[in-house]
Structure 1
Amino acid sequence: MAITIHVDIVSAESAIYSGLAEMVFAPAEQGEVGIGGRHAPFIAKMRPGEVRVKVSATETLPFFVSGGILEVQPHIVTVLADTAVRARDIDEAAALEAKRAAEEALADRSGKIDYAKAQAQLAHAMQQLRTLEKYRRS
């Protein structure tokens, strides 16, 4: 039997997931991290991307997070996300529209937009679409 770790994924709106897992993979700012039971404690800032909760050898649950904080203790992982959603619940039409709007804003060279904000919105939409695509392939 594999050593498990308790995982909580919460957003500002609600608790998204709570349960045991063999591994958790999360998009930390410095790169993706993998966390198993009895991991050394740490706290990291997360970038937009996919959090994968490996429940068993045959089941992995994908979630999209827009950023936030990852807290790791030896027996518990807490994902405090700005926004979190199960991959199956991602609104593809909204993500495509956000991507289109961000690309349009970045193409505007008039100087009337906040390019950093538009780039962040584009990254957010692209990560949502990647998470949804990976979920559909599995």
Structure 2
Amino acid sequence: MAMTIHVDIVSAEGEIYSGLAEMVYAPAVMGEVGIAPRHTPLVTRLKPGEVRVMSADEMQHFYVSGGILEVQPHVVTVLADTAIRAHDLDEAAVQEAKKRAEEAMQDKSAEFEYAKAQSELAEAVAQLRAIERIRKSTSV
């Protein structure tokens, strides 16, 4: 039997996932991190992207819009601003949000609006990557 680590993924809306995993991958601000059981303690910010939780029988995909990752030797906690199971993402809505953000970035009428559009674009692109990755993993 492989070693496991307990994983909790929570957002403002509530708990999204709680269970055991053999490996966890997360989009930290300094780059993607992989967390195995007995990982050294770590606290880092997350950027928009995909959190992958590998258990004995499957890989689960989650989209997070940012937040905090806390790692203890036997527990990983993802405190996300927004967390959604990747298969629950609406690709058409994400494409529309990406299009609106790109149009807003072309306007550049105010620095604040440009920064907000840039943030929205990053979130939409991260959601699309999560959709693509889950599509690839289910077609294999």
Q: Normalised by the size of structure 1, how large is the TM-score?
A: 0.95
- CA-to-partner distance for each residue in 1:58-100, whole Å, 9 max, x for gaps? 5110100000000000000000000000110001122111101
SS in 2 for 1:40: coil
Q: Which runs of structure 2 are paired with 1:38-57 in the superposition (5 Å)?
A: 38-56=38-56
Query: Secondary structure of 2:70's partner?
Result: strand
1:22 and 2:22 correspond: yes
Query: Which protein is richer in helix relative to its size?
Result: 2
Report the equivalent of 2:77.
Answer: 78
CA contact (8 A) 1:105 1:113 kept: no
Contact 1:7 1:77 in 2 (8 A): yes
Q: Percent identity?
A: 65
| 1:88 and 2:87 correspond | yes
Deviation of the 1:133 alpha carbon: 1.1
Task: Tell me the secondary structure at the aligned position of residue 114 of structure 1.
Answer: helix
User: Counterparts of 1:61 and 1:15 in 2: how far apart (Å)?
Assistant: 15
**CA displacement at 1:113 relative to structure 2:** 5.8
Q: What is the distance in 1 between the residues matched to 2:109 and 2:64?
A: 32
AA aligned opposite 2:136 = R
* 1: CA distance, partners of 2:18 / 2:108: 45
The letter of the residue matching 1:87 is: A
Residues 36/106 of structure 1: CA separation in 2 closer, same or farther (3 Å cut): same
Aligned pairs (5 A) from 1:99-118? 99-111=98-110, 114-118=113-117
Question: Residues 11-64 of structure 1, C-alpha deviation per residue, up to 9 Å, x if partnerless?
Answer: 1001000000000000000000000111111100000000000002x5110100
- The count of residues paired between Structure 1 and Structure 2 equals 137
Structure 1 unpaired stretches of 5+: none
Q: TM-score scaled by structure 2?
A: 0.94
1:110 is displaced (CA, Å) by 3.7
- Unmatched tracts of structure 2, length 5 or more: none
Give, in whole Å, the separation in 1 of the partners of 2:108 and 2:33.
Answer: 37
In structure 2, what is the Cα distance between the partners aligned to 1:119 and 1:16?
27
User: Which shows bigger deviation, 108-117 or 123-132?
Assistant: 108-117
